[in-house]
Structure 1
Amino acid sequence: MIKDLEKGQSIIGYFAVKDIAEKETKEQKKYLDLTLVDSSGEINAKVWDISQSLLGEMPQKSEIVKTDANVEEYKGVLQLKINRIRRAKADDDYDLDAIIPKAPVPVEKMYAVLCRFIEAISNDSLKQAVAKIIEEHKEKIMYYPAAKTNHHSYMGGWLHHTTTMLLAAERLSTLYQVNTDLLYAGIILHDIGKLYEYQADNTGLGTEYSLEGELLGHIAIGIRIIERAEGLDDEQKLLLQHIILSHHQNPEWGSPKRPMLKEAELLHHLDMIDSRMNDFLKAENQTQQGCLTPKIFQLDRKIYCTG
């Protein structure tokens, strides 16, 4: 497993390709730059001599590969120097469940949690509108990641992020007086646009931005989905659209308006807590207890792993 790799090891193993690109060195020699993953984490890998190391056709994103590699360290981060790499064959002996990164909770259980919170919405028109939107998108919801590379960027990540926010909101709403109908509906729908912003296969690995995602982004797409929702009155649509529009809080993060409802403010912080904690846990999972990680791009800092 990737989390168990140590500098100096020689390994033969199976991984999934999260990203792959052909690049050039300063001497204009071509090499392959890969991000390989298994269920325990991810690691950068290099194929310095393509003609000698690549056996067969070039691997594609989300495919399983067999690798013969050395574990090295570059700028304080472990990296694989690949000696041999090929696409996995049908008769290869590997455990797909141990390779594909996925949410730590079964998707069926998470979907049941989502449905429980929809049922908890007391306003009938709001409940029915949210339920219809979710039912229409159920197929994607069951496997879509919540991001391409950042937090919850794995199979079932959208559902994991959404249900974790809902469970946290349930606790916090006992401390703060909020409209739970609006809060729960807002959480369930705040990232609904991501189901169109990305194109993802059923592993959650081959995720790319769609043209719609590139040109509009998930916030604008979410606004459009609410506008077209049936059964909502003008005020319900307006409040849900504001929650979606403001959930990143700052213009530089993609929100043109800051939260102007207490439910929108709470949702923003729940979103930040869950995304940041997911990034922390991902980093800790690949770092020994009592050690500092390298600088993490999403967090813009190193973190110390407490275990």
Structure 2
Amino acid sequence: MKRIIDYKNGETMSLEAIIKKSDFRLAKNGKNFLSLVFEDKSGQIPGKYWDANDENAKTFKVGTVVQLDGKRDIYQGKPQVIINHLGALEADTVDMSQFVQTAPIKKADMENDFEDIFLEITNGAWNRIVRYLFKKYHDEFFTSAAAKSNHHDFQGGLAYHTLSMVRQAENIADQYKQIDRALLIAGACLHDLGKTIELSGNLDIEYTFEGNMLGHITIVDEEIVKAAQEMDISLESEDMILLRHMILSHHGLLEYGSPERPKLLEAEVLHNIDEMDASINMITKALDKTENGSFSERIFGLDNRSFYKHS
């Protein structure tokens, strides 16, 4: 059976998919409709279910696996499916895991990788903080998405994004010996750990109240402070101030949510690694839905730019 990613513009679609988002809305013409996002292992595609009623909203809710029949189309530069027929499948007849996007590396393999990575953090205080917080948020870290929609927005995306950044940090530290390898790796490990609290859900990902009010940078800094106090590590020490600065500055600019701009070589590198890894994921995701010789849909997280897919 074809997957979402396999269909080209204008082709008739017929496949099974899971509903990732479902919003009951009222159009300008007064008609009700469901704004839906369908997902399978290969990707996502939005579509509108017109003339919807309350019963349809209950049937086609988030997490429902459906038989989707329609036609792939382009609307405002982005792929969509024009729905001809939609039918809910019985939950006990399908394997839900076959429809949910997950990290391309198995959870157990990533867990083992991080155990090896911790050995590279040779500073005692940083090592203890990282291990303490990874143990505290282990389950959430390895199952959470890294974002609501822009980059690594899939189950296990947070761990995969973090692991990818650590690998880049290792290579950069190998190339530039003046970089404090332990500090850069510790910062990469912890930089987005606050998203375990900021975000909720593996399908319809939403911001929590705490996430909306505080943001993941503030959240993880608070967690670092509490961990240090629990283990009697001085927050006034240079080591702890440097580690906290790595986290607080990793978005780079004040208008992007960082209370401080990078003032360490390692902090500047961490910010750029984060930007690069997120950008590569967003561009790759868009190009996966683009035919050779065409431009991708506009990418919101990259200033609404389109990218060309060459052969």
Q: How far, CA to CA, are the matches of 2:290 and 2:309 in structure 1?
A: 7
Matched, 1:146 2:149: no
> Is contact 1:186–1:243 with CA below 8 Å preserved after alignment?
yes
1:69-105 Cα deviation digits (max 9, x unpaired):
233332343321223323331343x554442111111
Task: Report the TM-score when normalising by structure 1.
Answer: 0.92
Residue of structure 2 equivalent to 1:245: 248
Specify the alignment match of 1:217 in structure 2: 215
8 Å Cα contact 2:20/2:38 also seen in 1: yes
Q: Which residue of 2 aligns with 1:256?
A: 259
Given the superposition, is the C-alpha separation of residues 190 and 150 from structure 1 closer, same or farther in structure 2, using an over 3 Å criterion? same
- Sort the Cα spacing of 1:199 and 1:51 in 2 relative to 1 into closer, same or farther, 3 A: closer
Question: How far is 1:207 from its partner?
Answer: 1.5
Displacement after TM superposition at 1:11 (Å): 2.9
The answer (yes or no) to whether the contact 2:102–2:157 under 8 Å persists in 1 is: yes
Q: Is the aligned partner of 1:273 residue 2:276?
A: yes
2:22 is aligned with what amino acid? I
**Structure 1 residue aligned with 2:17:** 15
* More displaced 10-residue stretch of structure 1: 128-137 or 263-272: 128-137
Aligned equivalents of 1:149 and 1:174: distance in 2?
33
Could you report, residue by residue, the CA deviation over 1:100-125 in whole angstroms, capped at 9, with x for unpaired residues?
11111112111222221111111233
User: 1:208 Cα deviation (Å)?
Assistant: 1.0
- Aligned positions of 1:1-307 closer than 5 A: 1-51=3-53, 57-92=58-93, 94=94, 96-176=96-176, 177-200=178-201, 204-230=202-228, 231=231, 232-234=233-235, 235-299=238-302, 300-306=304-310
Secondary structure of the 1:272 match is: helix
**1:230-278 deviation per Cα after TM superposition (whole angstroms, max 9, x unaligned):** 3433222211211111100111111121100111111000000100000
TM-score (norm 2): 0.91
Give the direction of change, closer, same or farther, for the CA distance of 1:272–1:56 in structure 2 (3 Å limit). Answer: closer
Task: Call closer, same or farther: CA 1:160–1:149 in 2, change over 3 Å.
Answer: same
Do the aligned residues in 1 keep the contact of 2:173 with 2:181 (CA within 8 Å)?
yes
State the alpha-carbon separation in 1 of the partners of residues 210 and 56 from structure 2. Answer: 37
Greater alpha carbon shift after TM alignment, 2-11 vs 39-48: 2-11
**How far off its partner does 1:302 sit?**
0.5
Query: Matched residues, percent identical?
Result: 33
Amino acid at match of 1:66: Q
The 8 Å contact of residues 7 and 72 in structure 1, kept in 2 or not, is answered as yes
Distance 1:58 1:134 in 2: 38
Cα deviation per residue 1:163-217 (whole Å; 9 max; x = unaligned)? 00000111110122111111111111111111100112xxx21321111001100
Distance 1:64 1:251 in 2: 42
Runs of 4+ in 1 over 4 A off after TM superposition: none
Whichever residue aligns with residue 281 of structure 2, its letter is: N
Q: What residue identity is the alignment partner of 1:188?
A: C
Matched letter for residue 34 of structure 1: L
Distance in 2 (CA, whole Å) between partners of 1:225 and 1:254 is 18
**Which stretch has the larger CA shift, 98-107 or 161-170?**
98-107
CA distance in structure 2 between the partners assigned to 1:78 and 1:237 by the alignment = 47
SS in 2 for 1:174: helix
Three-state SS of the structure 2 residue aligned to 1:239 is helix
Distance 2:62 2:215 in 1: 23
In structure 1, list runs of 5 or more residues that go unmatched.
Answer: none
Mind listing any 5+ residue stretches in structure 2 that lack a counterpart? none
Q: Shift of the alpha carbon at 1:136? A: 1.1
The structural deviation recorded for 1:132 is 1.4
Q: CA deviation at 1:14?
A: 1.5
Contact 1:70–1:81 (8 Å) recurs in 2: yes
Q: 1:7 to 1:95 in 2, by over 3 A?
A: farther
Name the amino acid aligned to 1:33: S
Letter in 1 for 2:116: R
